[in-house]
Amino acid sequence: MGYLLLILGLALFAGSHWFKRLAPARRAAMGDPGKGLVTLGIVAGIVLMVIGYRSAGFVNVWFPPAFLIHLANLLILIGFWFFALSMIQGRLSARVRHKQLTAMKSWAIGHLLVNGDLASILLFGGLLGWAVGSVIMINKAEPTWERPANASLKNDGIAFVAGLVAYLVVAFVHTWLGYYPFPT
Strand partners, 152: 90
Q: Which residues contact 93 (CB under 8 A, 6 or more apart)?
A: 85, 86, 99, 148, 151, 155, 156, 159
The rounded mean pLDDT for the chain is 94
**Does 89 have pLDDT greater than 90?**
no
Predicted confidence band of residue 93 (pLDDT cuts 50, 70, 90)? confident
Predicted confidence band of residue 106 (pLDDT cuts 50, 70, 90)? very high
**Does 182 have pLDDT greater than 90?**
no
Q: Which residues contact 37 (CB under 8 A, 6 or more apart)?
A: 30
Half-sphere exposure of 112 (CA within 13 A, CB side): 15
pLDDT tens sequence across 121-154: 999 999 999 999 999 999 999 999 988 877 788 9
Closest CA to 69 of 176, 179, 180, 182: 182
Rounded-to-integer distance, Cα 158 and Cα 171, Å: 20
Rounded-to-integer distance, Cα 138 and Cα 144, Å: 10
pLDDT tens sequence across 65-78: 989 999 999 999 99
Rounded-to-integer distance, Cα 143 and Cα 121, Å: 31
Predicted confidence band of residue 94 (pLDDT cuts 50, 70, 90)? confident
Helix (H) / strand (E) element for 68: namely: helix 68-85
What pLDDT does 27 receive? 86
Rounded-to-integer distance, Cα 57 and Cα 68, Å: 24
Mean pLDDT, residues 168-176 taken together: 95
Where would I find the beta strands (DSSP E) of the chain? none
Helix (H) / strand (E) element for 110: namely: helix 99-114
pTM of the model: 0.93
Mean pLDDT, residues 104-122 taken together: 97
Mean pLDDT, residues 151-177 taken together: 94
Number of C-beta neighbours around residue 44 at 10 A: 15
Mean pLDDT, residues 18-39 taken together: 90
